[in-house]
Amino acid sequence: MTTATDPVVLVVEDEPQMRRFLRASLTSHGFRLVEAGTAKEALALATSGSPEVILLDLGLPDGDGIALTRSLREWSSVPIIVLSARGRESDKVEALDAGSDDYLTKPFGVNELLARMRAALRRASQPSGAPVIEIGALRIDLARREVTLGERELHLTPNEYRILALLARNPGKVLTHRQILKEVWGPTHVGETHYLRVYMAQLRRKIEADPARPELLITEPSVGYRMRDRG
Amino acid sequence: MTTATDPVVLVVEDEPQMRRFLRASLTSHGFRLVEAGTAKEALALATSGSPEVILLDLGLPDGDGIALTRSLREWSSVPIIVLSARGRESDKVEALDAGSDDYLTKPFGVNELLARMRAALRRASQPSGAPVIEIGALRIDLARREVTLGERELHLTPNEYRILALLARNPGKVLTHRQILKEVWGPTHVGETHYLRVYMAQLRRKIEADPARPELLITEPSVGYRMRDRG
DNA sequence: GCGCGATTTGACGCCGTCTTGAGGCGGAAG
DNA sequence: CTTCCGCCTCAAGACGGCGTCAAATCGCGC
């Protein structure tokens, strides 16, 4: 059973038997499959299918996998794991130096393949994309810890920033006083609702056009606060 | 023959014979070697030796390599290639899932090892991008370990350089005290925030026009520091 | 063993942030 | 109308993080 968040794997392989085997193994372990039987197909699908990892058989009907690896590497850094019947050391060296990330000699165990795929995915996802939240003119760059309102860069104190980031990460959702206090001041301060009032006032003075009529930081009386996400 | 720009490889292996073999093979192919015979040594050298890749034998006298892999992964993303006599699939899966990048079963060919090391290094160096970083008049040559300000070449102590390089590799991004301490002093010193204050002051005295009004090394109060990249 | 640079540790004052309290407003309930 | 409760505002003082300087210690090369 696959879901929308499962990683996509591009399988480049021409033997029907091997394809069936991979299809069965991978879909049952949380991957979505895109399949190509030729180098040409593979190149097209590497663009349109936007796979997170590629499994590549070296023996293809229309040209060898080494050349395919090189063309992929001209523009993409998606992990490539070569699956090949050729076990000679020189084959491995050639494939790896062409730009592939790993090399498995057939026959191989499914579990090893899956583990190597996990390793490749782990590496690739490391420089995780810059999380940036935008709400109207307000822009919060979580990686840089930077808040801008239109063109102007805002200076927020540590607590102000943590509250704002927390609310912005849950746009539209009401966060209770307790939740916010626990997250920002720690579980020992969940009773100090007064802190919140002071800080919400400071934040509003900094980010609202008219702090008396808040449009972004909405009070939910006797419940908590909420970041308006639209309209 | 090795030069200053050759990549450093940390070899973690207790058998003298295997060590001799690796030493001969690697130094003749453009690597500088740092060697450890125990897990404890390895952990220390992974910090102080700042290797670009680690070769790890699983059978160590003081604990297994899987545990070592996990502790390394708590703070470092340096590529780890496991070399092991154990060829069982479950061994490979365990090692890969613990955080290693590749797994080679002994005996293996030197050329395959070298190709896999090249592949690992290629991947690792990808995100860091250019080996030279320029920010205003400041210029940091990571390959040569050289820092110039305008025309003048600056002399930085080892720790000063590591801090500066770390911040410069993440321009604009806030690095927490913990992150910097972990990267420079190792995971056992994440509490020593005082070190940072002293070293930031020294760096500012060397690279800022007016150390009292820093324009490059920005303090993010009670969070960490950040290298200004624009403006 | 000596000398030098680098690192670690300690002391201190400044400044921004946080905490705290007092007071005001407005709506709902009595 | 009065009272109560939750919320907002303002400001003053306490607190803690930060920068700075300097002394003590470490560690390496000679």
Question: Alpha helices, DSSP H only, in A49-101?
Answer: 65-73, 89-98
Phi, psi for residue B151 in degrees, rounded to 5:
-90, -30
Q: How many CB atoms lie within 10 A of CB A181?
A: 22
Higher pLDDT, B108 or A62: B108
Is pLDDT larger for residue A64 or for residue A98? A98
A195 touches strand C (CB under 7 A): yes
Which residues are in reach of strand D, CB within 7 A? A 193-194, 197-198, 200-201, 204-205, 211-212, 219, 221-223; B 177, 193-194, 196-198, 200-201, 204-205, 211-212, 214, 219-223
Rounded CA-CA distance A143/A164 in Å is: 14
Name the pLDDT band for A75 (thresholds 50, 70, 90).
confident
Q: Sorting pLDDT into bands at 50, 70 and 90, what band is A131?
A: confident
In this complex, how many residue pairs, one in chain A and one in chain B, have their CB atoms less than 8 Å apart?
Answer: 65
- Nearest nucleotide over every DNA/RNA strand to the A192 CA, judged by C1': C19
Nearest nucleotide from residue B223 CA, by C1' atom:
D17
- Nearest nt (C1') from A160 Cα: C17
In whole angstroms, give the CA distance from residue A218 to residue A141: 21
What's the whole-number average pLDDT of chain A? 91
Helix (H, G, I), strand (E, B) or coil at A124: helix
Q: Which of residues 89-118 of B touch A (CB under 8 A)?
A: 89-90, 92-93, 96-97, 99-102, 109, 111-112, 114-116, 118
Predicted local confidence at residue B129, as pLDDT? 52
Task: Read off the pLDDT of residues A76-88 as tens digits, 9 standing for 90 and up.
Answer: 889 999 999 999 9
pLDDT tens digits, one per residue of A172-200: 999 999 999 999 999 999 999 999 999 99
DSSP 8-state secondary structure symbol assigned to residue A190: T
pLDDT of residue B5: 58
The predicted pLDDT at position B138 comes to 94
Task: Please say if the pLDDT value at position A92 is more than 60.
Answer: yes
- Classify the phi-psi angles of B71: left when phi > 0, otherwise alpha if psi is within -120 to 50, otherwise beta: alpha
CA distance A174 to chain B (A): 27
pLDDT by position in tens, chain B (length 231): 444 457 889 999 999 999 999 999 999 998 989 999 988 888 888 877 778 899 999 988 777 899 999 988 877 789 999 999 999 999 999 999 999 999 999 999 999 999 999 999 998 876 555 578 899 899 998 878 899 998 999 999 999 999 999 999 888 999 999 999 998 998 899 999 999 999 999 999 999 999 999 999 999 999 999 999 875
Percentage of the residues of chain A whose pLDDT score is greater than 70: 95
Measured between CA atoms, how close is B101 to chain A, in angstroms? 6
B174/A116 touch (CB, cutoff 8 Å), yes or no: no
CA distance A129 to chain B (A): 12
Q: H or E element: which one contains A165?
A: helix A158-169
Are the beta carbons of B112 and A126 separated by less than 8 Å? Answer: no
Largest CA distance in chain A: 74
- Residue B2: per-residue pLDDT: 45
Q: Measured between alpha carbons, how far is A224 from A30 in angstroms, rounded to an integer?
A: 38
Chain A positions in Cβ-Cβ contact with residue B174 (cut-off 8 Å): 143-145
pLDDT value at position B214? Answer: 95
Task: State the pLDDT confidence band at A132, using cuts at 50, 70 and 90.
Answer: confident
Answer whether A127 touches B (CB < 8 Å): yes
Kindly state the average pLDDT of the residues A108-114.
97
Q: In chain B, what residues touch A113 (CB-CB under 8 Å)?
A: none
The span from the CA of B206 to the CA of A49, in Å, is: 50
Work out the minimum CA distance from B129 to partner chain A, whole angstroms: 12
- The predicted model gives A137-151 an average pLDDT of 92
Q: Is the peptide bond before A127 cis (omega within 30 degrees of 0)?
A: no
Average pLDDT, integer, range A141-160: 93
pLDDT at residue A98 in the model:
96
**What is the reported pLDDT for A59?**
84
Percentage of the residues of chain A whose pLDDT score is greater than 90? 77
Q: Report the length, in residues, of chain B.
A: 231
Considering only residues A129 and B68, tell me which one the structure prediction assigns the higher pLDDT.
B68
Of the candidates B112, B172, B174, which has its C-beta nearest A92's C-beta?
Answer: B112
For an interface test with A, the pick among B80, B102, B108 (most A C-beta atoms closer than 10 Å) comes out as B102
Burial class (CB in 10 A: 0-12, 13-18, 19+), B106: exposed
Nearest CB to A97: which of B93, B118, B226?
B118
